[in-house]
Amino acid sequence: MISEPSRHCTVELQALPSRIGQVRRIISAQLRYWHLDPLIDPAALGVTELLTNVHRHAQPDKSCTVEIELLLERLTVSVHDHDPRLPTVREPSTSSTSGRGLALIAAVSESWGVRPRGGAGKVVWFTLSAPPWCAPLPPHSVYGATTDGPFELAALTYLESAAPSVARSAVVG
């Protein structure tokens, strides 16, 4: 299930390897829709690491909920699972092939944390800072549906306040 495509998106799933890739693509598409393209790679990396942790460690089941929410200029990505055990950051040896997920999340995010859900599991979350120019634009109305034309007054005001772009030509000569 995916919630309304506004500033909040929720995906419920079983954290299986085939589903992790699907959720990564859903999150990437949602961020593209919100015009947050610079956040796609770190968000996809973080959600992949969190879902991999659920797949590898969560008990009694692998069901979880991924949630992304954009408030002001901050994107929060969280994964809720049913395992009450809280994850810990480990110091893997140089030859270890796993154990670096939370360290990766800490490296690419603005902040991250874990909170218990009152005996019903936990939430692991991280935040990413969205540049002001990446803020989602107001939704556009469909021409002919309920408007008198293809442009809304608010959209025109937004376009007029934007900095003019410089025209460039790819033609030599």
How does pLDDT run across 63-106, given as a tens digit for each residue? 999 999 999 889 999 999 999 998 877 776 666 556 677 888 99
Angle at which helix 17-33 crosses helix 40-57, to 10 degrees, equals 150
Kindly report, residue by residue over 34-64, the tens digit of the pLDDT: 999 999 999 999 999 999 999 998 888 899 9
pLDDT, mean over the chain: 78
Name the residue type at position 142: V
Q: What global pTM score does this model have?
A: 0.70
Q: Rounded to whole angstroms, how far apart are CA atoms 15 and 55? A: 5
For residue 103, the model assigns a pLDDT of 87
Picking from 172, 149, 173, 153, the residue whose alpha carbon sits closest to that of residue 161 is: 153
Dihedral angle over CA of 17, 22, 27, 30, nearest 10: 180
What strands, in cross-sheet order, belong to the sheet with 8-14?
A: 8-14, 63-71, 74-81, 122-129, 111-116
